[in-house]
């Protein structure tokens, strides 16, 4: 009996270890919708939640988020961000083709016939424009058990590592900033943090090379974190923080609220 319990515990730890080591790949789609179509698009996101839930059930994706932007670039008309999660880069690059999306829509709406489904899907796609799509690989994250649910707040920080400082920037995020965020989480000032590296687009003309996701359970936690000051930070730690800040340009910060989630 003791041996059986021992093997069960080992098995659970092994599965937990595999899950912890699993790399996440994400596609960020920044969505622009004309003002006269915003109400219709609210219905579209609910349709998309049902479609992506079918894709999750079919093991095509690992999850899907729909975020409503509260702030961002001054010259941007993005209103929403959709994030789709994958467990490997091949799935990420293949994505979900239109035919698969239509098939999942049929499953989600069994009372509609094929013509109605096609019309609904095409009208929904016509509402939006996708000025920017980013393919990302998660390379570092905090230890936490944060659960994503509607109402969660996120800060999406688009970064561009300075020329010649790519590795220095990633090291700064992982060795300097990650422990700071972990401390916030341990103190109840934050929910989750992760660093992502851009897979596409690539090249010196790309607007960003990295993205950090800073997740908070609500506005109260967000503002408490902004006003927190670590009085115990040493001079060496402050210097490391400044060096890390100087290794990249913070291009834009997008503050958003989670409206729909599929897990």
Let me know if residue 7 belongs to a domain. Answer: no
Cβ atoms within 10 A of the Cβ of 155, count? 19
Residue 76 belongs to a domain with what CATH number? 3.30.70
Q: Are residues 82 and 178 in the same domain?
A: no
Specify whether the CB–CB gap between 79 and 38 falls below 8 A: yes
Q: 132, 167, 189: which is the final residue of a domain?
A: 132
Number of domains in the chain: 2
**Spatial distance between the Cα atoms of 246 and 114, rounded to a whole number of angstroms:** 55
Specify whether the CB–CB gap between 66 and 258 falls below 8 A: yes
Which residues lie closer than 8 Å to 127 by C-beta, 6 or more apart?
A: 33, 34, 37, 40, 41, 44
The β-bridge partners of 197 are: 137, 210
Domain that holds residue 110: 23-132
- For residue range 208-242, list pLDDT tens digits in order: 899 999 999 999 999 999 888 775 677 787 788 77
Q: Are residues 105 and 170 in the same domain?
A: no
Q: Are residues 161 and 234 in the same domain?
A: yes
Question: What band does 77 get if pLDDT is binned at 50, 70 and 90?
Answer: low
Q: Are residues 219 and 243 in the same domain?
A: yes
C-alpha to C-alpha distances, 227 to 39, 222, 223, 224, 231, nearest whole angstrom: 36, 9, 6, 5, 12
- For residue range 139-190, list pLDDT tens digits in order: 999 999 999 999 999 999 999 998 888 899 999 999 999 999 999 999 999 9
Residue 207 belongs to a domain with what CATH number? 3.30.70.100
Q: Is the pLDDT of residue 2 over 50?
A: no
Q: 132, 151, 186: which is the final residue of a domain?
A: 132
C-alpha to C-alpha distances, 23 to 6, 175, 224, nearest whole angstrom: 28, 19, 31
Q: 66, 101, 132: which is the final residue of a domain?
A: 132
Let me know if residue 6 belongs to a domain. Answer: no
Q: Are residues 246 and 167 in the same domain?
A: yes
């Amino acid at each position: 009996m003791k041996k059986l319990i021992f093997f069960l515990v080992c098995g659970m730890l092994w599965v937990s270890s595999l899950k912890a080591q699993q790399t996440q790949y994400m596609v960020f789609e920044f969505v622009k919708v004309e003002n006269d179509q915003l109400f219709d698009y609210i219905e579209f996101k609910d349709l998309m939640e049902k479609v992506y839930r079918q894709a999750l059930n079919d093991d095509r994706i690992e999850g899907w988020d729909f975020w409503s932007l509260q702030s961002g670039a001054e010259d941007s008309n993005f209103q929403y961000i959709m994030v789709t999660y994958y467990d490997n880069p091949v799935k990420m690059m293949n994505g979900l083709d239109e035919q698969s999306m239509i098939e999942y829509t049929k499953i989600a709406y069994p009372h509609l016939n094929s013509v109605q489904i096609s019309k609904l899907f095409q009208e929904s796609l016509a509402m939006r424009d996708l000025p920017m799509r980013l393919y990302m690989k998660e390379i570092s994250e905090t230890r936490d058990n944060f659960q994503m649910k509607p109402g969660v707040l996120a800060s999406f920080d688009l970064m561009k590592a300075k020329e010649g400082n790519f590795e220095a920037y990633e090291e700064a995020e992982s060795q300097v900033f990650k422990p700071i965020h972990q401390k916030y989480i341990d103190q109840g000032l934050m929910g989750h943090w992760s660093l992502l590296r851009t897979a596409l687009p690539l090249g010196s003309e790309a607007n960003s090379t990295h993205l950090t996701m800073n997740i908070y359970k609500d506005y109260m936690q967000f503002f408490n974190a902004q006003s927190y000051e670590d009085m115990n930070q040493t001079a060496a730690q402050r210097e490391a923080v400044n060096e890390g800040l100087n290794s990249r340009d913070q291009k834009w910060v997008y503050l958003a609220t989670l409206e729909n989630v599929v897990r």
